[in-house]
Amino acid sequence: MDAPASDIVVDHHYDLVIIGTGSGNSIPGPEFEDRSIAIIEKGTFGGTCLNVGCIPTKMFVHAADTALETARAGRLGLNARVDSVDWQGMVSRIFEDRVDPIAAGGEEYRRGPETPNIDVYDQHAVFVGERTLRTGQGEEQKIISGDQVVIAAGSRPFIPNAIEASGVRYHTNEDVMRLPEPPKSLVIVGGGFIAMEFAHVFDALGSDVTIVSRSALMRSLDKDLGERINELAADRYRLICGPTVIGAEESEGGVTVRLDDGSSVSGDVLLVATGRVPNGDRLDLASGGIEMTDEGGVEVDEYGRSTSAKGVWALGDVSSPYMLKHVANAEMRAVRHNLLHPDDLREMPHDHVPAATFTHPQIATVGMTEEQARDRGHDVTVKVQGYGDVAYGWALEDTTGICKLIADRDTGKLLGAHYMGPQAATLIQQMITVLAFDLDVRRVATEQYWIHPALPEVTENALLGLEFD
């Protein structure tokens, strides 16, 4: 493919240009050693997941889980407590000892002699023409182009205008984990998975947490899980659901958030966790002839190709309907294959996408909710199985955990699986396999061993509880 025709003077033309070093950084492997590649990353190598998302948050969550279980150990006959929290020690262990060196090592590798066919650009990139971008290295601005361009520019936190316009100091997932110390009080605006994970972390580590959400928490969950998590959250946090934030101002030692019902809530620290938006609107896509979605993402077809610009691909949060790292990785593998095999394209892998929220209790889901299954005309059979009804649930003294399975009564095929409780994100993996390989749950329940008295017996009993004709 020839370099794009343009009046713009191009400093360097490449076979492949990749914007973003999250999942996009995994594209260049041995198969691409004969291709000239540019990688553009204005921030920290590794993307959201490594630096400010999945990985460090789960490291904090594990500490929070341990602290909370210690505080609740009386139900097991243990007299235990957490005397203090070494927050700076946690920050150092998570970031200085683990995350930051990995990010730095990733950049060093791409800049080093191990990948001589790759150039790294560290200025922000914008399109200035067809497959042509303005970026730079250090202080020097450069114009580069590519036969193929992969946009993997990720997403960023969405900030409500009422907060952004107020001028108050607020935090997001991108900086709240590096606070100098945990706040005495924390106001979280938002009710999704990011809000719920941080609520658990800070509450378990000693902060007084208030959650402000326009709707019920985790509103996309199946009803049985959604109702239960809201009840549990109301027992643990100060929960304000319904009002909308209309403003905020600095108050003595913190921030006060004003709500449209006339009330207000104050805290030492304000955390905004109201979702994420794709970064497509920051790339001047129109100058590259690239169509953008209403949400600010790159419009792509089923293969990850731009619907309007030849030779342009996109993956991950900037284009995907699923802002999940495991989806971005799967999309990366599809795009990598398509770059290498243009006559044998693979579709983006969007079937049976699971998700987990590492709050307390842990939540994991895959497939349809009961309401969705009924709306789509299935004759459903449903079983809700309590963790506390199996032997390992007794060991845990668990009283709130549930597994809910939804299947088609006529075919025996699983439609959805929903877990809330200890190890939910691990337990659900068997049901992801059932969906992926289109197995009959009647056989899954009876034609394999289930280790006794392990926690997967929750799943076994739920399967056996489904009723078929």
Give, for 56, the enclosing helix (H) or strand (E): helix 54-71
Under 8 Å CB-to-CB from 326, ≥6 apart: which residues?
Answer: 354
Q: Is 452 a catalytic residue?
A: yes
Burial class (CB in 10 A: 0-12, 13-18, 19+), 442: middle
Q: Is 114 helix (H, G, I), strand (E, B) or coil?
A: coil
**d(Cα 424, Cα 444) in Å, to the nearest integer?**
19
- Do residues 172 and 158 make contact, with C-beta atoms less than 8 angstroms apart? no
**d(Cα 46, Cα 361) in Å, to the nearest integer?**
29
Both tokens assigned to 204:
């378990």
Give, for 52, the enclosing helix (H) or strand (E): helix 47-52
CA distances from 372 to 123, 195, 199 (A): 45, 25, 29
Catalytic residue among 13, 337, 350, 452: 452
Q: How many CB atoms lie within 10 A of CB 276?
A: 19
Alpha carbons within 13 angstroms on the beta-carbon side of residue 110 total 28
Of 276, 280, 303, which Cα lies nearest the Cα of 291?
Answer: 280
Q: How would you list the strands of the sheet with 414-420, edge to edge?
A: 355-357, 363-367, 414-420, 402-408, 380-386
Query: Residues 388, 392, 397, 398: what is their CA dihedral angle, to the nearest 10 degrees?
Result: -50
**d(Cα 469, Cα 407) in Å, to the nearest integer?**
12
Q: Is 423 helix (H, G, I), strand (E, B) or coil?
A: coil
Residue 147's φ and ψ, nearest 5 degrees, are -65, -40
Burial class (CB in 10 A: 0-12, 13-18, 19+), 122: middle
Angle formed at CA 292 by CA 348 and CA 338, multiple of 5 degrees: 30
Q: Which long-range contacts (CB under 8 A, 24 or more apart) does 131-140 make?
A: 131/4, 131/17, 131/288, 131/309, 131/311, 131/312, 132/4, 132/6, 132/8, 132/10, 132/288, 133/17, 133/19, 133/40, 133/288, 135/40
Of 85, 90, 86, which Cα lies nearest the Cα of 68?
Answer: 85
Give the pairing type, strands 140-151 and 269-272.
Answer: unpaired
- Active site positions, annotated: 452
